[in-house]
Amino acid sequence: MHLIENSQANKAAAKRYIGVAGNLIAFACKLSFDCGYDGYISFESKTKLIAHYQTHLGAQLLFGNVMAIDTPAASKLVRQYFP
């Protein structure tokens, strides 16, 4: 996954929508399943978001700020966002 970013209008306390990043990541996981990659995705995280992605999305830190989501975590995200 290359880059995802919330719009300026959807940041901080005044954000309009909740869960935009989670939804986009779940969609990437779904595409990974559809293409035969078992839900695996990897991405480079902003340093301040690493703990958030680990806690809320089940991402694992590989090295530096490169993270990955494996099959179990991807399955959970796809079920959560695409019931």
Per-residue model confidence as pLDDT tens digits over 49-67: 999 999 999 999 999 999 9
16-26, pLDDT tens digit by residue? 888 888 999 99
Residue 64 inside a domain? The answer is: yes
Report the number of distinct structural domains present in the chain.
1
Coil, strand or helix at 44: strand
Q: Is the dihedral of CA 17, 15, 5, 41 positive or negative?
A: negative
Coil, strand or helix at 60: strand
User: Could you count the other beta carbons within 10 Å of the beta carbon of residue 72?
Assistant: 10
Residue 43 inside a domain? The answer is: yes
Residue 15 inside a domain? The answer is: no
Residue 62 inside a domain? The answer is: yes
Structural domain boundaries enclosing 58: 39-83
Residue 33 inside a domain? The answer is: no
Those residues whose C-beta lies under 8 Å from the C-beta of residue 68, and which sit 6 or more positions away, are 40, 41, 42, 43, 59, 60, 62
Its pTM stands at: 0.88
Residue 46 inside a domain? The answer is: yes
